[in-house]
Amino acid sequence: MSERIKELEDRTRFEPAQVEPQIVERWLASGLFHPEPEGEASENYAIAIPPPNVTGSLHMGHALNCSVQDTLIRYNRMKSSSTGRTKWILGTDHAGIATQAQVEKALLAEGLNRHELGREKFVERVWEWQAHYGGTIVEQFKRLGASCDYSEERFTLDQGYARAVMQVFVRLYEKGWIYRDRYIVNWDPGSRSAISDLEVEERRETDTLYSIRYDVEGGASVTIATVRPETMLGDTAVAVHPGDERYRSLVGRKAILPLVGRHLPIIADDYVKMDFGTGQLKVTPAHDPNDFEIGSRHELDQISVIGEDGRMTAEAGERFAGLTVMEAREAVVAALEREGRIVAREDYEHEVPYSHRSGQRIEPLISLQWFMSMDELARPAITAVREGQVRIVPENHQRVYLDWMENIRPWCISRQLWWGHRLPVYYCETCGHVTVALSAPEACSECAGHVRQEADVLDTWFSSALWPFATLGWPQATPELKAFYPTNVLSTARDILFLWVARMIMMGIELTGEAPFSDVYIHSVIQAPDGRRMSKSLGTGIDPLQEIDRHGADAVRFGLLAMSSTQDVRYSAEKVQQGQALANKLFNATRFALVRIDASLGSGRAAAVEAQPLPRTVEDRWILSRLTGILADTAARIERYDFSHAALGLYDFVYGELCDWYLEMVKQRLPDLAGTDSEDDGRQELAATLLYVLRETVAMAHPLIPFVTEELWRYLDDTGELLAGCPYPRAREDLLDPQAETELARTIEAVTLVRGWRDSVGARAGQFVTARLCADGYELTGLLLARLARLQLLPEDQRSHALDPVDRSPVNGVASGAGGGEPSAAAPTAVASVPIPGGTVEVLSEEGLDLGAAERRRKAAKQKLLAEIERVEGKLERPGFVEKAPAAVVEGERERLARLRAELEVL
RNA sequence: GGACGCGUAGCUCAGUGGGAGAGCGCUCGCUUCACACGCGAGAGGUCGCAGGUUCGAAACCCGCCGCGUCCACCA
């Protein structure tokens, strides 16, 4: 026995923890994950990984997305191993707000804040922080087996990347699409920065809705409703609907703002809903997005009463300046109360905006920011999706994308942070002239005055939008760009479809002339087992690394893919266990086969490894046919992003066909060391077939469960090549064999039926029950039936006797040795008969069997059969059935009825 | 307010026009010479509710109920 196989023999379990680190080492050392930038993108395959936050750590979403992408990458790497290059572009994102917030938190612990430190020192600290805590997530990707190109890791703040970002800014500014404007923005007091609409999260809350009476000049009054009384200090109008008869006479008059005394014009605007409250609306253009719009239409004043620090400004008046928003609300309500102006208060449930980043309540306020107009960018990106140059899978997300794109609004791209790409905008301190350029001008081009760079940085998503091409060296025409751009697929969760994916498509088309990928795959969202969102703050998170420790990376990958069938799915520990069981099963099946073959053939094994499959028996033909089917299915499922069926189909094949049936059927044809002689009895052919099936199965499974398959490949392949670099198996249609499939299907059913009968009569597990096979269609499988169902078959009256003597007689001694070679002159009488497809098994011995139980079983089966016959008869007699149903269906039902009646005969 | 997804066995989910399935859990039997992370056999379901289409509906259509997610500027 060879040394290698000997070593394998003692490993009765697949131990992921011991094997995985070494396999990762071998993969990385092989250079397989780093393709040379050769050829055209059309013949190569590439995926750009959604860059995780540089200081982040692996969560379940990453784990699923990595499993998806790695399955695609490994499949395509194997599939095109000789014709193309496969690259998984790796890198991390600087994640402006998130990273800055982490560092600020650490500073706080030292009693410092960033302003005390100063911008330069602070940014240095962030780089230090990143050097220390960054990149752990990339190590965690390796543990999952992700076959990224680790030799070329990108970062969105790298020099080259930053140059690309600057260039894009300048270019789009020159096109007039980037501009500066005073506009109402979502102000996040937590990070003291504006944030985009997409970073706002609405939460349902109950507040008090106050009804407040404002007097109107010359008598009368209006009553407005608000949940934010403190903003009334910034009111500059009162509005009613133009069609509202009740208030027609008020329009054009002035209301008097309580506490302040300002005179507010009463205006008419369509925005006001007549049926909400009194139909009278206070207008605060500086602190409400709708009021801002009304204000622009009517040229109203904008009075900012809330500042960027979240406190009331001097404009709010002496009594309130400096108070927080909440304090101001109480104070305003108390003051109004004293004046008797609060008409009513009621509980009111509504949506309140919060910052997705800092968790603080958003203050809409007017601020001078940089914006990007999106209409021109969106147009070709809409066409690309509508016309199918970019395909969104699953399809139903396409409409969501189009709806959003067709109603796209300007994007606020400036952030008041220090960590990020600083805008390449320079202001003259003397004349205010604005210069936008790749590098700082020496002096103002207009007046030669000093220039100062814009303090703001760009929204992180501005730089992420360039990801698929900036990582490959764009704007330079690098070989990498030529070889891998456009990429093939982008895999992501749907929550960043707008935030990121849409912007990549727009920027890609605008800047490179091509959409950055042809497919967008939106994977499932994994929820906590109880159906809630998986999140750290809720305590519902499950750590994928812990799961890998416990079950192995293959198990976690398999489990995640298997459970991710629809839009939202609950985390299923069972599916992970199923994956672990599969890895172990495959390991043991291969180990068993190799040890037996090695023992049986010795040095002949090598030849068998190379040999083509040589089916000798019906079960050989059957497994080869089934293998062909699963190979085609698995490849098709991966290609259409149907990972759950790819995973579960693999499981079913390995358990339900390969191990439970084929290996059990051929066990006896694989003699152990002691039982061998040098005769050619078919062992060589069996070894060739078995090894072929195992090699193809293991190779097929590799993209899904790379570790166990790579480990097994060391034993299945003598060349020392890594499986990760081998070609993907092809389904060979010449091995399809419908006849073998039919024969085995009925035999498997028969075995199961007899086993069930045995169990019910209390036959001992190892006991061979003497029986006679009276059934057609078991010519080739009768002895398999006998062995797997533990029957000692008597030859008399056996209708299936045309067994192949070459293949069967030496292998299975049951056939002729049933009665110890002394069949009595008179055929024994059956004590029970078990129906199987095509006939019966007549049981001849009653030794130790509980025939009473058998009788009860028989009666129960008969009842069931009668009910079934009645059902089918009813169906055939149903008016219209025979006339309208397809002929094949009618025929099928008739055949079934005949079969059921035949079974009834036997019972 | 709009959109999408999901309600099938105790749990997690396949099945999407003609015989109700898997994994886990449960029951019974097995240390059968690959695997006890195993093997064999079972029990368990008015397929959310109510209509409609059809010879026939778990599946297709309409409505309702429940759960989840995304989008949206009603004070």
pLDDT tens digit sequence for A215-251 = 888 888 889 989 899 999 989 999 988 888 888 888 8
A 12-41, residues with C-beta < 7 Å of strand B: 12-15
Distance CA A844, CA A797 (A): 12
Q: Which residue is nearest to nucleotide B33 (CA to C1')?
A: A672
pLDDT tens for each residue of A709-765: 999 999 998 888 999 999 999 999 999 999 999 999 999 999 999 999 998 888 888
pLDDT at A653 over 50: yes
Q: What is the pLDDT of residue A848?
A: 82
Residue type, A22: Q
The confidence band for A797, taking pLDDT boundaries of 50, 70 and 90, is low
pLDDT tens for each residue of A860-869: 888 888 888 8
pLDDT tens for each residue of A135-180: 889 999 999 999 999 999 999 999 999 999 999 999 999 999 999 9
Q: What is the mean pLDDT of residues A602-619?
A: 75
Q: What is the pLDDT of residue A803?
A: 43
Q: What is the mean pLDDT of residues A170-196?
A: 90
CB A693 within 8 A of CB A699: no
Mean pLDDT of chain A, nearest integer:
87
A 556-575, residues with C-beta < 7 Å of strand B: 563, 565-570, 572, 574-575
pLDDT tens for each residue of A349-384: 788 888 887 788 888 999 999 999 999 999 999 999
Q: What is the pLDDT of residue A823?
A: 42
Q: What is the mean pLDDT of residues A791-817?
A: 49
Distance CA A146, CA A87 (A): 12
Q: What is the pLDDT of residue A810?
A: 31
| Cis peptide bond upstream of A394, omega within 30 | yes
Q: What is the pLDDT of residue A562?
A: 94
First-to-last C-alpha distance (Å) of chain A:
53
Q: What is the mean pLDDT of residues A581-595?
A: 94
CA of A498 to C1' of B62 (A): 33
Share of chain A above pLDDT 70, in %: 94
A 575-634, residues with C-beta < 7 Å of strand B: 575, 577-578, 580-581, 584-585, 588-589, 591-592, 596
Token digits of residue A80: 């095109």
pLDDT at A634 over 90: yes
Distance CA A130, CA A320 (A): 42
Look up the ipTM and state it.
Answer: 0.96
CA of A564 to C1' of B53 (A): 33
pLDDT at A1 over 70: no
pTM attached to this predicted model: 0.90
Distance CA A27, CA A31 (A): 7
pLDDT at A670 over 80: no
Among residues A874, A854, A863, the alpha carbon closest in space to that of A903 is found at A863
A 459-498, residues with C-beta < 7 Å of strand B: 494-495, 498
Beta carbons within 8 Å of A861's beta carbon, 6+ residues apart: A835, A907
CA of A408 to C1' of B71 (A): 12
Q: What is the pLDDT of residue A604?
A: 61
Buried b (16+ CB within 10 A) or exposed e, A492-508: bbbebbbbbbbbbbbbb
Q: What is the pLDDT of residue A553?
A: 96
Q: What is the mean pLDDT of residues A806-822?
A: 37
In eight-state DSSP terms, residue A839 is E
The nucleotides of chain B lying under 7 Å from a protein CB are: 3-6, 11-15, 18-19, 22-24, 28-42, 54-56, 67-75
Q: What is the pLDDT of residue A605?
A: 63
Cβ of A406 near strand B (distance < 7 A): no
Cβ of A202 near strand B (distance < 7 A): yes
pLDDT at A805 over 60: no
CA of A857 to C1' of B10 (A): 27
In eight-state DSSP terms, residue A537 is T
pLDDT at A824 over 60: no
pLDDT tens for each residue of A848-861: 888 888 888 788 88
pLDDT tens for each residue of A436-459: 999 988 888 888 889 999 999 999
> What does residue A41 show for φ and ψ, rounded to 5 degrees?
-60, -30
CA of A108 to C1' of B66 (A): 46
